[in-house]
Amino acid sequence: MNKTNRKKFYDSQTWKSCRKLVLKRDNYLCQLSIKQNKLTPADIVHHIEHFEDNPSRALDMDNLLSVCSSCHNKEHPEKGRKKDKRRMKSRRMMI
């Protein structure tokens, strides 16, 4: 899935409504933190089976989980690397 289609999906009213339902279902708490006996507010709805891997499950509530940003970053370490690479490039340009 390309960036344009992904952005359209995440900007859609359908996704926003689904996201709200998942957050409400999970009481706005990070479900991964709860497993560690911690109560942490959730601000992200995570696709268990990644959106890019299976877009047909993008709105399947059984495939969605409320998580905090810290847990979401642990679930997607590859996204952090992209940011780190950009920082490294910009630092090299400054030198």
Which residues have C-beta within 8 Å of that of residue 6, sequence separation ≥ 6? Answer: 51, 52
Closest by CA to 80, choosing from 69, 90, 91, is 69
Q: Model confidence at 80, in pLDDT bands (50, 70, 90)?
A: low
- Does residue 42 contact residue 31 with C-beta atoms inside 8 Å? yes
**So where are the chain's domains?**
3-94
Q: pTM higher than 0.85, yes or no?
A: no
pLDDT, tens digit (0-9, with 9 covering 90-100), for 3-49? 899 999 999 999 999 999 999 999 999 999 999 999 999 999 999 99
CA distances from 22 to 14, 43, 60 (A): 13, 11, 10
